Amino acid sequence: MRNKNLILNPAFLICLVVLFLNDHFFKFYYTSWFTGKLSDIAGIILLPMLLTYLFPKLMQNSVFVAGLLFTFWKSPFSEGFIKVYNSLAPIGIHRVVDYTDLLVLLLLPIVYFMIRDGKLINDFSIKKLNPAIVLCPAFLILMSTSPPKNFRYNRYSGNVIFEDFAIDVKKTKEEIMDEFKKRNINIHKDTARIIDESSYLVLRTGKMNSQNLKNGEDVFKYNNDSLKTLLNKRIEESNQYKIDEAEIGAGSRVRNIQLSIWGDSKSNRIVVHAMQVEKNLDSTPVDNKLKKIYKNLMLQKFKDL
């Protein structure tokens, strides 16, 4: 029999509220190391209680299962699961691999004794509250997305380079392009980047003559028409795109958004590689700027594509 007090006690409810507020407000407006870890702290406390409520037979082992699930989620091994889930589910999920998050596993013994002893859970729970009122929001909050953590900012140029900034869209590439046009977002192939990454093609269209070192003639000669043909084919087949400028809020814009679009006939992943923001910003304003970009550009514009 399920013990509803496991999800109606003060510890669980407080952690649920903290998790929601931190993921949707604190991380965006009070960016710091503490807000970066606060969600993990709240999550690792409430997860064993939730597992024990859903699967009463896990009473003695819920903390171990929670630890394994949390470790799996924070590891690269969960990437395959996330891709499959996002291709099927209406609400996408996202996480950044950060092994320092595993430090919160040290809290599991405390949760273990709370569940085993049951005094705090049973004596102070809200008896008249229906568990469904808590259970549904709990699942939605636990699946909340997070903004990118790993990025490099050049304060002299304003360039921001991301390591993990992606979102899955259940549309074909053609449908995505049509949606961009409807929203007046000018997206086009990033020819400069494609050509730069294809510089090796020059060697395929030319010949080297070492004898010309002595007579002063050109050492390397290439066929310009063949090179143009190869580069045009490379550009046509490339998944690299660029948005010159996009609005992310009233009077706020970002420029030179470099992104890739990968996928198949059913769904695609939009991966943002870099963009340009204001120059000479300190670390905290940059963090806040990226949170605003994430909320307005990725979640509100790209998510609804």
Region 251-268: mean pLDDT is 82
| Residues 52-89: tens digit of each pLDDT | 999 988 888 899 999 999 998 888 788 777 777 766 65
> Of 275, 251, 287, 278, nearest to 29 (Cα)?
287
Give the SS3 label for residue 154: strand
What percentage of the chain exceeds 70 in pLDDT?
78
Position 242 scores a pLDDT of 93
Identify the bridge partners of residue 189 per DSSP, sorted by sequence position: 241
Please give the structure tokens belonging to residue 110: 């405390």
Name the residue with higher pLDDT: 18 or 198. Answer: 18
Position 42 scores a pLDDT of 92
Sign of CA dihedral 88, 84, 23, 2: positive
According to DSSP, residue 282 is labeled -
DSSP-H helix ranges across the chain: 10-21, 27-29, 33-54, 62-73, 79-88, 108-117, 119-123, 131-142, 173-182, 191-197, 201-204, 212-215, 224-237, 283-293
Mean pLDDT over each residue of the chain, to the nearest integer: 78
